[in-house]
Amino acid sequence: MLSKRMEEALNAQVNAEFWSAYLYLSMSMHFENESYKGIANWFKVQFQEEQDHATIFMNYINSMGGKVTLRPIDAVETSWNSILHAYEETLRHEKVVTGLINDLYSIAIEDKDYATQSMLKWFIDEQIEEEETARDYIDALKKIGDNGYGLYMLDKELAARTYTTPAPLANNNE
Ligand code: FEO
């Protein structure tokens, strides 16, 4: 059983995950338009993953007898100066999300809500990976600078990223 405060915070997280999805879809469309198809692909996969994160939270609210209440999704940026700029924004945003997940965990501790603490552990690990990946691409892009061949090779590399169902949803489908 979720406390009212926990249910509201989880619903706010559903909205935050859909906002993240919308942000990355916007980045994907921007880079598609800039003819960086690999970068666009990377952000498209990111968009899919964020929708999965929202779904994991919605499934959890439902499984605990709570009610999912969907709210409007705020507008997102629609263009970025460079690929580096997009990854810097990605890292900045993922740090915000890490803070939100930590806040949820703090509420779960205060509520002695062990089920929600257990569910959130996957997200705590996921956020480490999300921030590390963005940081790695920022480092790579700083080394590449304006080198056209370097950007071409990175675009090729990111074209290979494929979507995989995250563990909490994959387990659900068993
Ligand atoms: Fe849903 Fe990128 O964290």
Tens of pLDDT, residue by residue over 106-131, are 999 999 999 999 999 999 999 999 99
Least confident among 35-39, 86-90, 157-161, 169-173: 169-173
Q: How far is the CA of 111 from the centre of ligand 1 (A)?
A: 24
Helical (H) or strand (E) element with 13: helix 4-33
Write out residues with Cβ below 6 Å of ligand 1.
17, 20, 50, 53, 94, 97, 130
Q: In the structure, what pLDDT confidence band is assigned to residue 24 with cuts at 50, 70 and 90?
A: very high
Integer Cα distance of 137 and 158 in angstroms: 10
Task: Report domain extents, the chain.
Answer: 4-164
Q: Report the separation in Å between the CA atom of 53 and the middle of ligand 1, taken as the mean of its atom positions.
A: 7
Q: How many Å is the maximal CA-CA distance in the chain?
A: 55
Q: How far away, in angstroms, is 104 Cα from ligand 1 center?
A: 14
Using CA positions, which residue lies closest to atom 1 of ligand 1? 50
pLDDT for 53-101, tens place per residue?
A: 999 999 999 999 999 999 999 999 999 999 999 999 999 999 999 999 9
d(CA 141, CA 148): 11
CATH of 4-164, one of 3.40.50.720, 3.50.50.60, 1.20.1260.10, 3.30.300.160: 1.20.1260.10
Q: Using the predicted structure, report yes or no on whether residue 142 has a pLDDT greater than 50.
A: yes
pLDDT at 174: 46
CB 60 within 8 A of CB 27: no
